[in-house]
Structure 1
């Protein structure tokens, strides 16, 4: 009987606690789906929020609200005062940074997101050419929800391995790991559309360079295992042997989809330092222009060697650019630290070593044929 009384008391307390909880009905709140940060006046922060509001008839509308203050939390309070419903951030799916804003550092905002228990590690992050406010406030005739559209744009390109992954989880990992820097997609408005235009390169938490969307392929190929995606490669005519084409044009265009890649990085000289980067790529040729007889095994072998040479050259060029600007998005510092015992590697020490680093790039490309080529 005593146990039964305890049970009734516990049940009563649970019901009372639930009754005291704050109700958050959809029609009474505004759901922030995406936020953008720009430089405000006098070194403040200008925050633009995309807010989804649901009516009692379950019809939703999207509002874009901008506010400026000294801190991001201060702008949130201002946005809340300008919204028809109470602002909730539990449905946040994307964070954008204006290009100029990133040059002052985004580490504080990464840390704030990680500290918030309502934030998911799958939030996507990207840099905007120009200001995020201008991008988000523009009236796109064919885009109803700009927040959802940008999230899906970046997400599907990450999943199809067209760009490096820039989820909060991945960005935070690169930010906190010594010897590895952040890379994230750059988006821009092109007339009535939004597109990915390249990738931003960071040193610690500050953007210091960028690569074209084509060059982002070489970054991803060199630092991650590749399993999908389609890429168009251009090989200069001078790099093509006469046995492949009698009168080679100025360049030959190939489109292939990587089926399987594998990366092997070895530190061969800790003093320089010097690395061997060996990549094996097995891919299916989707298109080649002008036509080459890929039914001929000797020509296929010649073509594979030409592709391997071109990929090695392009990857070396992109690595050299990253060294020049000082961004180690490949994580060579991480390889160095794990390979050299008692290295006591610091950021300052790796900065000096990274500038003098030598990377020997070797690509073994194998063409997988699946039947008829047009």
Structure 2
């Protein structure tokens, strides 16, 4: 069972007592994803012989465009079949309503993970969400080998799958692997509460880490100077979890009719795809995605940072418990954050709870326009939000603190 909240008896054990572990994740550095970046921050200081990494063959090629994090020094293992083949087989299984295909793929994954984990002589396995088979396959392997199983739930596992067949498969296995885990790690308080309610498990909250040393102290806290251009900045992926929030922003900017206000977007998605989904206008500047080491300077030059989540998406439960990987970065940048997300989401709750961003939780472009106007006109508001944001970055997202907690969590498993 996952440990009970507040049990820090092993907190001083540290890396000296750390067992060798296998980490199984679809996204691994240097692929370009928030999950990959989190894992890079957590593992970059570990010795290569303390862990091994397992992922699907060729996913790193599809997910990396040369602007992710560096590769980790530990050994990588790539399992078959190819990532794209798995995607195709899942689509076929969903269309055919074939549980048999899913069970065959799960057995294949179990066999491959067991072979690698035995070969590497790992004493624990950490399985990350993001793939349908990784969490249950790693759980079965841990049971057969008698080693601790740690679930790292970057998102709500069973709610990641829209197909009824895939959702039912994930839910069936979730009911075993969450209560049976030695530890469950979640990135926020909302998913912690959800797993407590559903399974009686006290998960460990590790907010997605951010390297605060990359953000300059002399850039804040947003003074009262007025520039020729007022910049609203977004950095990161844009897909179904964001579309209608961006569409509201476009309508809000059109209604404001302030030529000096411009939206700058840095994203791996193409300009044509954004335009097709209603993210277009003469006030938008589209940028190619940039290397992660350039993001702090880009973020700290903006007048406000936009953090959107969709109000009507195919996966409302995921939106509700989502922790965007860039959240710590936005807080660390010492710029005011404009949040446009559903009222029942973790993101809206966090920024309201800590008064560290201006939250517009209504699905209404007019309300969003009012929020933009308030940030433009009120220098005290900008300064107060920026100051509170950086305080939360230090409190909840500092990678030094989070790495220590992760290491101690692993070391605690040595004493069982």
Q: TM-score scaled to structure 1, two decimals?
A: 0.24
Instruction: Flag the structure with higher strand content.
Output: 1
Instruction: Flag the structure with higher helix content.
Output: 2
Q: TM-score scaled to structure 2, two decimals?
A: 0.22
